[in-house]
Chains A and B, each alone.
Chain A
């Protein structure tokens, strides 16, 4: 068996990360695979400036990683024997960036035919070899919340993933992350900017009032559905000898998901813009007894920040995008900081494979606009996003016991010259600028090939 084939076979048979040590990987992992960094290493990042996102910044600090977890962090730590050392001199380490709103790595994100598609699952359509994944790693991103699109009021189920680039897609799922679902309000749901063609019907609901009634209707159905199952379960447990087993209600995958929402087992991430629709949704959720986990975009969140905070709802917004549509007309860059001031847990997201590559610069805007502290700004792309996704016990800050998901910068991440040098997930280096395909490397290769072939493309014109 050829070497490349062996490599490729191993690539597809590697189980979930953190369970297997694979050594000897290099860049020759076959033509349809990438080198997978070894797992279970003992790693020490030394002499770095560590921005923990939870307990301030540690100068000249060390992080010890064992089996993918942070086992120690602080100044003056002794590096254990046999640890692989990443020299952090002059470098800044932050928690791996968490993007609370992504549509990356999915084969399609909208099932927009119905106004509720609570049954569809992003997890079903994930894809693992998109270059954009690697590029987000190169921007320090380690975790994505991959959401259904905003074509309908009740969208599909999201998937939280870690960017374990090179592994099969099942191994990229964030194991144990609470399930969630996308809701959407406003222009996209009304299809304001995407009107039906001649001869096609408009899809109900078409107004913001209709959206409210639609959501209420679906949750009313969900309550009835739950009651039917409860009745069935009761009938089964009270069954007398000789009686026929009752026939179960029809299992409805849409209502299953909504019942999970009602029971607090499924997090709602709601695309929203205007303050009135935000306010509406918070009221609907309250009436049905569940919490909206996060409002997404939430560009007018600053207008109802107190209400959002009181609902225990997070807000995941853009740093400063505005004016791209009518409902983004009152968007202000102070939104994040102002909501945070009012007690909302705020994250800054990308909603874009491009913007995701520079979220650390986006977060800095919360300092510029509204005066967020440095740590608060960093939390907006790490710990707060983790909290909104219900994974803050695992990721989001540099604390002992958490996953070693880290971004290593050449300098302060908010400074203009900030660049990601390495990105670690579970202590494994999934991006390293030293070995990355950079423009500089390409130019050197072109130069070499020119020398090899005098009449090159460049010279032939």
Chain B
């Protein structure tokens, strides 16, 4: 088929998932990493081994490696070398996009913001050195970048953690079409979860037919009316043909089941992204790729918490139940492993330091460390379709490596060096009193482990725009922050409400307000990601469903 398409000269660019030949910024330096404990991940552990790195690639691994004179020798004195982590759940470097305006659309068509299937994240990336540095220093050497919002989100790119996220850093694009369950707005279709799923279903049918019509016309246009070109459907054609994987962001049990149904219905090459409740849906997992996020949800947010209303001793015994539920949640990866389900591990979009801390929680909950390491490296590479180039310490693979003081992901391990594309990044020595790894290995909740100092500053006055089903409504949020918690008020046309349960976890802010409306009170829970003077996220309004919001800090 490829030759026919080439002959026609009509091959859409995005059909070709280009694996970049690694000629990237060869530093000129050839590294010989000697006297190392090498965790190859795919070929066992090599004690006292040497890795030879040249032109960004691993060119030799073993105990009998001959070291060329040109090599810079780094005697690691028994330190451990592991493959660099690959995080398949990243939004790094995606510039913010304006939210779709309400009032647009509203006819029989889709809203403008809903369909982003053709969006190429590789073309958009921009990221500061600082953000990249932090990820890299936690051991993350490559990330899969795609938006975490929307229903057809676009085509992801796998990117190396170099100094800048430019085209040279891109390892592969597109990796997959990313799909999720958020609607694009509320005044136009689809404006609810119901609509989102139907929209997706229709789009896949449309894409299949589009491909058929286009093929027919392209093979013989004579006498055939020219079909209408549609860039979004064009992007979905390889998806419905199973040529390009579909990554569906599915956190909750029902989302996982939904995604699997969708995949079966349209013969997608499906990978579940998130899968925080995969332990509740093991029966449907075989046959799909699974990327398990270790951004563990809170007990009261997972499926099953609502069963509490039927548990006789619940009201007094709720703390114990929360603890037990938390254990089950953190055991998610271990449970999948026990059930024989292969999976990759990913951060879930948290900061890189939390990623490692959470991986350790998963290990503490019963996941073998080796499986965790493989999950965050070679399994991830497999699902991204780059396992021949990345994910383990093997000859010919890209030299993305972590050097740590002890077996990586063990409690006492601290990272001293990270190699990306064969370029060495030396980490500053850990602070004397409190080592990064140790502080992150605590059994506390996500967020608190990193300490309050790392929390974003949220205090001040914000203009919040809530994209409610009735349209947008603006309110003023006034926040007084104390460490990881905050209080204040939210004032809208409906009056003033006190912030309840305001809390910050890293760059995530969440709070609840209770509105009195029409004689009934109901609560809105806001959860958003703070980025400088902007915030965006989701509002959950109980039985009214959930919708999006954005906000801007007032000067």
Residues in chain A within 8 A of chain B (CB atoms): 1, 4-5, 8-9, 11-13, 27, 30-34, 107-114, 117, 119-122, 124-131, 134-135, 148, 156, 165-166, 168-170, 194, 196-197, 199-201, 203, 244, 247-248, 250-253, 435-438, 441-442, 445-446, 449
Contacts and interface: CB of A to CB of B under 8 A. Distances in A.
Interface string B509-531: 00000000000000000000000
What is the predominant secondary structure among interface residues of chain B facing chain A?
helix
B108 A117 contact: no
Given A129-B305, A435-B312, A124 B258 contact: yes
Contacts of B324: 4, 30-31
Given A169-B257, A445-B315, A4 B328 contact: yes
B209 interface: yes
Given A9-B282, A27-B312, A32 B325 contact: yes
Contacts of B209: 247-248, 250-251
Given A32-B328, A125-B194, A200-B103, A13 B282 contact: yes
A112 to B, nearest CB: 7
28 contacts: A1-B338, A8-B328, A9-B339, A12-B280, A12-B281, A12-B283, A13-B282, A32-B325, A32-B328, A34-B307, A107-B545, A108-B192, A110-B192, A110-B469, A119-B201, A120-B195, A120-B198, A122-B194, A125-B197, A129-B306, A131-B310, A169-B257, A247-B213, A248-B209, A250-B205, A252-B202, A441-B312, A445-B313
Contact of B253 (A12, A27, A165, A435): A12
B235 to A, nearest CB: 18
A172 B194 CA distance: 18
A27 B312 CA distance: 8
A9 B253 contact: no
Interface string B307-322: 1111111111000011
B303 A156 contact: no
A200 B194 contact: no
Contacts of B106: 113, 201, 203
Contacts, number: 187
Nearest to B186: A113
Contacts of A129: 303-307
B279 A8 contact: yes
Contacts of B186: 113
B335 to A, nearest CB: 7
Contacts of B309: 131, 134-135, 437
Contacts of A110: 192, 194, 469
Contacts of A126: 254
Interface in B265-321: 279-283, 299, 302-316, 321
Given A5-B328, A253-B205, A445-B315, A113 B282 contact: no
B379 interface: no
Contacts of B339: 9
A5 B254 CA distance: 19
- Chain B interface size, under 10 / 10 to 19 / 20 to 34 / 35 or more: 35 or more
B189 interface: yes
A24 B451 CA distance: 45
A124 B198 CA distance: 9
Contacts of B282: 9, 12-13
A31 B300 CA distance: 11
Of the candidates A124, A248, A442, A446, the one having the most CB atoms from chain B within 10 angstroms of its own CB is: A124
Nearest to B544: A108
B262 to A, nearest CB: 9
A113 B187 CA distance: 6
| 3 smallest beta-carbon distances between A and B, as pairs | A32-B304, A131-B309, A129-B306
B361 interface: no
Contact of A117 (B198, B281, B335, B469): B198
A253 B254 CA distance: 22
B162 interface: no
B375 to A, nearest CB: 20
Contact of B191 (A112, A119, A124, A442): A112
Contacts of A27: 311-312
B188 interface: yes
Contact of A121 (B103, B194, B254): B194
Given A107-B254, A120-B198, A253-B205, 17 more contacts: A9-B279, A9-B335, A12-B280, A12-B283, A13-B283, A31-B321, A32-B299, A33-B304, A107-B193, A110-B469, A113-B190, A119-B202, A120-B192, A128-B303, A168-B253, A168-B257, A194-B470
Contact of A156 (B103, B194, B206, B213): B194
B194 A117 contact: yes
B331 interface: yes
A242 to B, nearest CB: 14
A110 B195 CA distance: 9
B129 interface: no
Given A8-B279, A12-B283, A124-B258, A251 B205 contact: yes
Nearest to B208: A251
Of the candidates B195, B305, B321, B331, the one having the most CB atoms from chain A within 10 angstroms of its own CB is: B195
Contacts of A148: 194
A253 B190 contact: no
Nearest to A34: B307
Nearest to B200: A124
Contacts of B193: 107-108, 124-125
B216 interface: yes
B167 interface: no
B192 A31 contact: no
Given A165-B310, A445-B316, A32 B192 contact: no
Contacts of B308: 131
Nearest to B304: A32
Contacts of A134: 307, 309-310
